[in-house]
Structures are given as structure tokens and as C-alpha cells.
Structure 1
Amino acid sequence: MAVLRLSLPLSSFLILIFTLFILRLSPVHSTCTSQKFTNNKTYSNCTNLPTLNSTLHYTFTPKNMTMSVAFVAIPATSDGWIAWAINPTDTGMAGCQSFIAFKDSKGSMLVKTYNISSYSSIIEGKLSFEVLDSSAEFSKGTMMIFATVKLPMTMMEINHVWQVGGSVMNGVPMKHEFLPGNLKAMAKLQLEGMVDKSSNGTSVGSPMASPNTNSAPGLARVCVVLMFLGYLLGLIF
């Protein structure tokens, strides 16, 4: 009986340790709905992107095929860079029409456009679609890219890619890491069916479901499993 009394606290202790371990590994970042921007910028849609602790806010106006975005991410280092891109021809990095933001030599934020022709080189220059405006900001360790682009009339689905890097040398962003989070930083946005709340609520359908990085449901399942394991340990010991 004495052994049984000792086993229950032991199982509870193991549950606590494993739960704290899972919590430590779980991604922690604010949801896109809680983020606020300067100059009262607002967007019709937002999504917590599935990798790199980043979010995307966007408004699509079908009348003139413009899309305004705010991409928010934490760079790999304080002197690093963030990027958001549209790939009009494929789903990967090669061919991306990219906005990359970083600090200049004086510490001020800037954003430049790059045509990523291959995985080994980036070329600064105009994109294949019209850029109406772009800017970048830095606040509390987080970088933000703001841009408005005019899309081709036939582009109803966007292959978008995002990325973060750790260094900039002589005004040129250096290569990013090739970890799973970096390699999986791509998704699709369905423009056909979006609601543009800025145009008197004119409905053109609903946006494609975007991945949600809120880990609460998955964590709850993990905790249930750990509690069951603790119960089994109590029976065994």
C-alpha cells in the first residue's frame, strides 16, 4: 500500500514534467487578430501563417485587382531580414517576386523588391507586377512589410512564400537557414471568393481556409494522453 501511495505522486510529477516540456516546444506568438498597426491601417483578412512565427494581413479589391498586405515576422536575428513574396509561376522560392525588409547602415527600416530567379541568387529590381506602394517598420523585435500590388486579371489564386534571415551584408540579404520551418514557408491564397470589407461589404464569396497555428487543441490532446499514461504508471508502480 505504501508503494501505491508513492506511485501516484510520481505519475503526477511525470505528467507535469512532460506537459511543461510540450509547452516549451509549442510555438508562442500573438494571433493576427490582436495585432495593431500605425496610422490605423486595417485589413479585411488575416491569418497566422504555419511557420516562422509570422502573420499575414490582406485586403483584396477585385474591382481593380489590387491587394494590400501587411506581413509580420520576427527576423532570425535583430540584424536580419524578413521577406514576403508572390510566385506567379510555381509554388517554391525560384521565380518569387519578393519584398525583403531589413535595416540600413543607420538602423532605419527599408524594403526592397527582388526577382528571385534561382535558389542561388537574388536580383534587386522591379517586379513582374505593379507595386503601388511599399514600406517597412520595426517594433519590439518584430519587422513588418506593408505593400499594395496590382495583380493580373487572371490571377485568382496566389502562391505566396515568406521567409526570415539572420544577416545583411553591404545591403544584400544573406541566405536563410534551411530548417524545416524555412523550407515549409509557402502556401496558397484563393482570391476568388474573398470579401472586400473596404468596398461597402461587397461580397465575392469567402476566402480559402488558412492554416491556424493556435496549438491549444493539439496541446489538449497531448495532455489527455499524458494523463492516461500517468494513470497507467500508477497502476504499474
Structure 2
Amino acid sequence: MAWQLLAGVLLLQLAASAAGQQQCLSATFQNGQTFLKCNPLPVLGASLHWTHHAENGTADVAFRAPQQSSGWVAWGINTRGTTMPGSSVFIASQDGSGSVSVLMTVLENTSPSLTNGSLSFDVLSPPTADYTNGVYTIFATIALPNNSTTQNTVWQAGPGSTGNVGQHATSGPNVQSMLRLDFSSGQSTGTASNSRLHRRNVSSSPPPC
């Protein structure tokens, strides 16, 4: 009986994984851009789409996550470890008029300054973002750090808007949003981590990237 229950659970997990992968692959983007690979991320309803260019060690990336228009989402890479602090991230949010902007920042600690600036890896063109049907999408072309296809990727979502990024939840899925991803094979290994990011008000709206 126990083996039957275990087999049933495994079948349900496989079906859910297949459904998530199919939804990931069928995603379309407003700008008509397409990507060769995608992974449905394990928490926050997010997915990562990318095309890896092995000849020059770069990747075109699109990160998608559902969120209220009054909230923010973020995606990035941590070259130093497996937590949110130390990560270089893109944060998408809206201002009062509905205009979407992207902040590029390094999270120095759990109460980061959120200063717009350079990341720990090269960003080859200004990142962009859109908000459609309750989903943010961040687009970026990056040089993979240290020319390595395997990276510690992080993502997050929380309340607040441009100029006032609020603290996200400090339990549940919000502290499990990290995995190690191979941009070449698409294989990933999830790692639960303390990815808490404390509230920090930005003194002014981030300048355009």
C-alpha cells in the first residue's frame, strides 16, 4: 500500500512538472522575442526563459513572475554564495502612472541601499520590463560571470513600487527562491536559503537603466 501511495505521489509530481514545463515553453512575449530554453521556477509562480550563446559566454534572459501592479519582482545572480545578500539583481516595478522601470543593484546585505548602478557581471544592453495581465517580465542580455554556464540564480517578489521597494515576506516561498542553474543544459538544483530582504525606502525613483 505504501509503495502504491509513493508511486501515486511521484506520478502527480511528474504530471505537475510536465504541465509546468509545457506552460513555460508556450509562453509568448510582447516584443516577439523567443528563447531556446525555459525553467518553471519552484516558488512564487515564476519562470526563467533564456538563450545561451556559447560562442561568447552570454545569455538573453527573460524572467516572468505574477505580481500585483503595486508590487515588485526581482531576478539576479549571486557570484559569491547561495543567499540573496551579495546578489546582483534586476528589480522591476511601476510608478504611479503605470510606467515600468528596472533597477539594477547589488544587495550588499539584508538591508541594502538599492542604489542603481553596475552589477557584478556585465549587462550588454539596458534591461527592460513590461507588465501584462498581472505578470512582470524582465528582459536582459548578460555576460555569464567567470564565463561559467553554472550560476546561483535568485528571484524575489514583494510589495511597493518605484522609489519605495517594500520588504517581502520572510517565510515560506520567499525564503526558498534560489537555485543553481546550468545555462547550457538547463538542469537546475534547488537550494532553500535565507533570502530575506528588509524594507528599505529609496530616496528617489531609480534613474532609467
User: Given the alignment of the two structures, is residue 111 of structure 1 paired with residue 102 of structure 2, yes or no?
Assistant: yes
Q: Which residues of 2 match residues 208-227 of structure 1 at below 5 A?
A: 208-209=187-188
List aligned pairs for 1:105-184, cutoff 5 A. Answer: 105-121=96-112, 122-133=114-125, 134-168=127-161, 171-184=163-176
> Unpaired runs of 5+ in structure 1?
1-25, 195-205, 212-237
Letter in 2 for 1:161: V
Q: Encode CA deviations 1:100-122: one digit per residue, 9 max, x unaligned.
A: 00012321111110110001123
Alignment partners' CA distance in 1, 2:146 and 2:42: 28
Q: Which has the higher helix share?
A: 1
Letter in 2 for 1:156: T
Q: Residue 59 and residue 136 in structure 1: after superposition, are their counterparts in 2 closer, same or farther (change >3 A)?
A: same
Judging changes above 3 Å, is the alpha-carbon distance between structure 1 residues 159 and 97 closer, same or farther for their aligned structure 2 residues? same
SS in 2 for 1:187: strand
Aligned AA (2:182): Q
Query: In structure 2, the residue corresponding to 1:182 is in which secondary structure?
Result: helix
Aligned residue identity for 1:207: G
Instruction: Give the corresponding residue for 1:207.
Output: 186
- Per the alignment, in what secondary structure is the counterpart of residue 81 of structure 2? coil
Give 1 or 2 for the bigger CA radius of gyration. 1
For the 8 Å contact 2:65–2:137, the answer to whether it is kept is yes
> Which residue of 1 is the match for residue 8 of structure 2?
none
Compute the displacement of 1:209 (Å).
Answer: 4.9
Q: Does structure 2 conserve the Cα–Cα contact (< 8 Å) formed by 1:83 and 1:162?
A: yes
In the superposition, the TM-score normalised over structure 1's length comes to: 0.66
Q: Which SS does the other structure have where 2:25 is aligned?
A: helix
For structure 2, list consecutive stretches of 5 or more residues without a partner in the other structure: 1-15, 191-209
CA contact (8 A) 1:47 1:210 kept: no
Q: CA deviation at 1:175?
A: 1.1
Q: CA RMSD in A?
A: 2.1
Number of residue pairs the alignment of both structures matches: 170
CA contact (8 A) 2:158 2:169 kept: yes
Tell me what 2:85 maps to: 94
Alignment of 1:187 with 2:179, yes or no, is yes
2:99 and 2:189 mapped to 1: Cα distance?
Answer: 33
Query: For residues 78 and 154 of structure 1, what CA distance do their matches in structure 2 show?
Result: 35
Say if 2:48 is the partner of 1:56. yes
TM-score w.r.t. structure 2 length?
0.75
